């Protein structure tokens, strides 16, 4: 049994999956309050399925890209759950999650800041933030597929299950920020030391 | 007297990621079974201060590792812990959230109760962890992010007698170090430099010393230091080592004078209530400054109060103090549920108007 969840945008979405089937799933849209809602929503999901935390085999968690704080909310919770339950937590990015369901000739994109979007290079796998102008051009030629919170947690669970099935040890989930932290080096330059 | 309690504590409100395990057998001194602190100084070194997003990123990927290490060092599993305490504010919200969410995950998975702790209460209750201090005692909390004079009446009962209306002294020490090309953190490097300096050569302002009460201000002092530095440097195209030492000594003397005088006034107020075993305790990294500490010891002695300073590792940010503050709350029957809110602002003394950031979002501390 895999519990997967994602808070990388303005929602809390979760699914409880057994093999290929969805046992229970839930999503709620909210601009804020994910940190307060996430665990209660997960507990409601477990209760609906009539199981408890110890019945889980693994956690699947969305690592973005997306809202930095939102991603951290889920990743930090997933790491705490993994440690306390003694089960793996597997981080899945939105592109890997969506990939199996993509129709041909559709371009996956994850909404980013300032109306831009994150794109993944089909050849190199590199993910970058494309500005709005580039996205407008791109949409002339190709249809975009963006993460759907009603489907995403199940998609994450599916990828997590596949990785678990490889039997390989899985790294702890880490947010996929794509962009560096916004910070400028200090401009304070101390005066020269005359007797150095 | 109650049962033996063992608490896990998590702290991530500024630039230290920390986890610790504390045990208390009623009637005995509390024991720190483990205390892990991962600092982030090198991550922020190039930016002249703590960058909130960089701090949050580090906390989110470090806090569970700290918890694992703290449990291993204590030789315990989560099953042997009675409750999980976590800093829920005040602080840099991205870091606080990372700690709170990890703690919720730990609590949900283990079935152990969750206890949200005010970071400032962690500092303020440290004398009970280290010295079994009896209520009420006076606390000068003076760190990189905070500066308050508190009368500590109970685990959740604090009276704020005064505090800074702008910057904390620790910030001013860091800024001074940057302005003079000294390494971070500024506290120890400015103090070391000041030992060779003449505190009387440059006269820096003592803000609010001429006003009644225990409130303080340190932002003007930073500006004064910058102006004086520029004047000296403009005259001869740079600073000599002696100039730098004298600037540090003058700056430190100003901070000391303000802290000592405001503490003296707070002590007088506290002593009016005739506490049975009068005590003043300090917390926060600035309390490590020997010159400031000597001044505080003098005012304590003059007022007939004992002076207590926890060891430095428990003065600066750590999770043992969070585990202890959580233990005191838990013993009093207090826990939180999974809707525990991470708060950037959270004044200890809710009866008084906030001093900092009193905008529509409310007081910071």
- Alpha carbon of residue B171 to chain centroid: 12
Here the CATH number for the domain that contains residue B21 is 3.30.420.40
Instruction: List the single residue in B108, B233, B240 with the smallest CB-CB distance to A39.
Output: B108
Query: Is the confidence at residue A86, as pLDDT, over 60?
Result: yes
In a domain, B91, yes or no: yes
Residue A51 near chain B (CB below 8 Å): no
Instruction: List the single residue in B56, B94, B110 with the smallest CB-CB distance to A84.
Output: B110
Whether B150 and B255 map to the same domain: the answer is yes
Q: What is the mean pLDDT of chain A?
A: 95
Instruction: Please give the Cα distance from B268 to B185 (Å, whole number).
Output: 33
Residue B213 near chain A (CB below 8 Å): no
Last residue of a domain, one of B287, B312, B337: B312
Chain B residues in contact with A194 (beta carbon < 8 A): 236-240
Could you please report the per-residue DSSP string of B314-347?
A: HHSS-SHHHHHHHHHHHHTT--B-TT----S---
Whether B87 and B101 map to the same domain: the answer is yes
Placement of tokens 């990123």 in the chain: B57
CB B94 within 8 A of CB B52: yes
Query: Is the confidence at residue B170, as pLDDT, over 60?
Result: yes
Interchain CB contacts (distance < 8 Å): A and B = 151
In a domain, B356, yes or no: no
Whether B60 and B122 map to the same domain: the answer is yes
Instruction: List the single residue in B93, B109, B240 with the smallest CB-CB distance to A85.
Output: B109
C-alpha closest to that of B60 among A72, A148, A137, A14 = A72
In chain B, the residue whose alpha carbon lies closest to the alpha carbon of A171 is B61
In a domain, B363, yes or no: no
Whether B247 and B116 map to the same domain: the answer is no
Whether B96 and B116 map to the same domain: the answer is yes
E strand or H helix that includes residue B137 = strand B137-142
Residues 86-145 of A with CB under 8 A from B: none
Tens of pLDDT along B220-278? 999 999 999 999 999 889 999 999 999 999 999 999 999 999 999 999 999 998 889 99
Query: In the beta sheet, which residues pair with residue B38?
Result: B17
Instruction: Please give the Cα distance from B215 to B4 (Å, whole number).
Output: 40
B166: DSSP letter:
S
In chain B, the residue whose alpha carbon lies closest to the alpha carbon of A34 is B339
In a domain, B353, yes or no: no
Tens of pLDDT along B49-96? 889 999 999 999 999 999 999 999 999 999 999 999 999 999 999 999
Chain A residues in contact with B339 (beta carbon < 8 A): 36-37, 40
Share of chain B above pLDDT 90, in %: 85
Whether B319 and B179 map to the same domain: the answer is no
Interface contact B94-A38, CB threshold 8 A? no
Q: What is the pLDDT of residue B363?
A: 62
Q: What is the mean pLDDT of chain B?
A: 93
Is the ipTM here above 0.90?
Answer: yes
Question: Three-state SS for B243?
Answer: helix
In a domain, B361, yes or no: no
∠B106-B18-A40 over CA atoms, to 5°?
Answer: 25
Last residue of a domain, one of B312, B337, B356: B312
Instruction: Please give the Cα distance from A64 to A179 (Å, whole number).
Output: 11
The runs of H, that is alpha helices, within chain B are 41-44, 52-74, 93-110, 119-124, 126-131, 169-179, 186-194, 219-236, 241-272, 290-303, 312-315, 320-331
Average pLDDT over residues A76-81: 98
Number of compact structural domains in chain B: 2
Tens of pLDDT along B100-119? 999 999 999 999 999 999 99
Instruction: Count the neighbouring beta carbons within 10 Å of the beta carbon of residue B277.
Output: 11
C-alpha closest to that of B58 among B119, B14, B103, B10 = B14
Chain A residues in contact with B239 (beta carbon < 8 A): 191-194
Residues 87-116 of B with CB under 8 A from A: 93-94, 97-111
Q: Which pLDDT band, with edges at 50, 70 and 90, does B351 fall under?
A: confident
At B116, give phi and psi (nearest 5°). -80, 135
For the CA atoms of chain B, what is the radius of gyration?
21
- Alpha carbon of residue B26 to chain centroid: 27
CB B176 within 8 A of CB B222: yes
Q: What is the pLDDT of residue B69?
A: 98
In a domain, B365, yes or no: no
Please report how the helices A34-49 and A68-85 are oriented relative to each other, as an axis angle in degrees rounded to 10: 40
- Alpha carbon of residue B353 to chain centroid: 21
Instruction: Please give the Cα distance from A70 to B139 (Å, whole number).
Output: 37
**Residues contacting B144, CB < 8 A, separation 6+:** B14, B168, B170, B171, B174, B185, B284, B285, B286
Q: Give the predicted TM-score (pTM) of the model.
A: 0.94
Instruction: Please give the Cα distance from A12 to A32 (Å, whole number).
Output: 10
Q: How far is A136 from chain B (nearest CA, A)?
A: 30
Whether B149 and B55 map to the same domain: the answer is no
Interface contact B51-A73, CB threshold 8 A? no
Whether B141 and B290 map to the same domain: the answer is yes
The CA–CA distances, whole Å, from A49 to A98, B194, B304 equal 25, 66, 65
In a domain, B358, yes or no: no
- What distance separates the 2 farthest-apart alpha carbons in chain A? 76
Instruction: Please give the Cα distance from B180 to B281 (Å, whole number).
Output: 31
Average pLDDT over residues A149-155: 97
Question: Three-state SS for B144?
Answer: coil
Query: What is the span of the domain harbouring residue B292?
Result: 137-312
C-alpha closest to that of B126 among B39, B9, B1 = B9
CB B191 within 8 A of CB B252: yes
Whether B146 and B288 map to the same domain: the answer is yes
Q: How far is B85 from chain A (nearest CA, A)?
A: 13
The residue length of chain A stands at 196
Question: Three-state SS for A177?
Answer: coil
At B80, give phi and psi (nearest 5°). -95, 5
Residue B84 near chain A (CB below 8 Å): no
E strand or H helix that includes residue B117 = strand B114-118
Query: Is the confidence at residue B347, as pLDDT, over 70?
Result: yes
Whether B151 and B281 map to the same domain: the answer is yes
At B83, give phi and psi (nearest 5°). -160, 165
Query: In the beta sheet, which residues pair with residue A144?
Result: A107
Q: Which pLDDT band, with edges at 50, 70 and 90, does A163 fall under?
A: very high
In a domain, B51, yes or no: yes
- What distance separates the 2 farthest-apart alpha carbons in chain B? 69
**Residues contacting B124, CB < 8 A, separation 6+:** B139, B141, B150, B152, B158, B283, B348
**Residues contacting A84, CB < 8 A, separation 6+:** B78, B105, B106, B107, B108, B109, B110
Whether B145 and B242 map to the same domain: the answer is yes
Whether B238 and B279 map to the same domain: the answer is yes
Tens of pLDDT along B181-235? 998 889 999 999 999 999 999 999 998 888 889 999 999 999 999 999 999 999 8
């Amino acid at each position: 049994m895999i519990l997967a969840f994602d808070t990388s945008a303005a929602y809390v979405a979760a699914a409880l999956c057994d093999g290929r089937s969805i046992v229970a799933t839930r999503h709620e849209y909210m601009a804020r309050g994910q940190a307060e809602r996430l665990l209660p929503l997960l507990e409601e999901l477990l209760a609906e399925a009539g199981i408890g935390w110890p019945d889980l085999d693994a956690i699947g968690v969305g690592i973005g890209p997306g809202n930095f704080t939102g991603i951290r909310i889920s990743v930090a919770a997933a790491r705490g759950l993994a440690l306390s339950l003694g089960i793996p937590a597997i981080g899945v990015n939105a592109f890997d999650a969506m990939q199996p369901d993509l129709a041909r000739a559709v371009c996956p994109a994850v909404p980013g800041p300032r109306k831009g979007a994150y794109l993944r290079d089909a050849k190199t796998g590199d993910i970058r933030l494309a500005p709005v102008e580039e996205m407008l051009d791109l949409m002339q030629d190709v249809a975009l597929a963006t993460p759907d919170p009603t489907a995403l947690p199940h998609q994450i669970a599916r990828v997590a299950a596949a990785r678990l099935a490889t039997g390989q040890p899985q790294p702890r989930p880490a947010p996929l920020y794509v962009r560096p932290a916004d910070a400028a080096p200090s401009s304070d330059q101390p005066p020269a030391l005359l007797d150095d | 007297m109650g049962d033996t309690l063992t608490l896990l504590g998590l702290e991530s409100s500024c630039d230290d990621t920390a986890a610790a395990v504390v045990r208390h057998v009623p009637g005995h001194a509390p024991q720190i079974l483990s205390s892990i602190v991962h600092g982030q100084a090198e991550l922020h070194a190039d930016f002249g201060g703590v960058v909130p997003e960089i701090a949050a990123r580090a906390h989110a990927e470090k806090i569970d590792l700290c918890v694992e290490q703290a449990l291993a060092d204590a030789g315990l599993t989560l099953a042997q812990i009675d409750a999980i305490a976590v800093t829920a504010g005040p602080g840099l919200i991205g870091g606080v959230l990372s700690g709170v969410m990890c703690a919720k995950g730990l609590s949900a998975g283990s079935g152990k109760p969750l206890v949200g702790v005010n970071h400032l209460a962690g500092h303020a209750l440290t004398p009970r962890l280290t010295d079994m201090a009896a209520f009420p005692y006076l606390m000068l909390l003076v760190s990189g992010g905070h500066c308050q004079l508190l009368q500590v009446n109970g685990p959740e009962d604090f009276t704020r007698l005064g505090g800074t209306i702008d910057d904390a002294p620790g910030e001013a020490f860091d800024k001074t170090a940057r302005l003079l090309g000294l390494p971070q953190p500024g506290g120890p490097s400015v103090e070391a430099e000041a030992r060779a300096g003449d505190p009387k050569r440059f006269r820096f302002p003592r803000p609010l010393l001429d006003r009644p009460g225990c409130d303080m201000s340190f932002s003007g002092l930073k500006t004064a230091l910058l102006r004086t530095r520029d004047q000296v440097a403009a005259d001869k195209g740079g600073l000599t080592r002696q100039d730098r030492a004298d600037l540090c000594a003058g700056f430190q003397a100003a901070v000391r004078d303000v802290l000592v005088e405001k503490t003296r006034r707070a002590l007088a107020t506290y002593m009016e209530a005739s506490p049975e075993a009068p005590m003043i305790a300090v917390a926060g990294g600035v309390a490590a400054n020997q010159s400031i500490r000597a001044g505080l010891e003098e005012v304590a002695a003059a007022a007939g109060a004992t002076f207590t300073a926890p060891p430095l590792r428990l003065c600066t940010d750590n999770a043992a103090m969070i585990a202890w503050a959580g233990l005191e709350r838990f013993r009093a029957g207090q826990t939180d549920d999974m809707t525990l809110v991470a708060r950037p602002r959270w004044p200890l003394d809710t009866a008084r108007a906030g001093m900092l950031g009193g905008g529509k979002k409310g007081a910071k501390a």
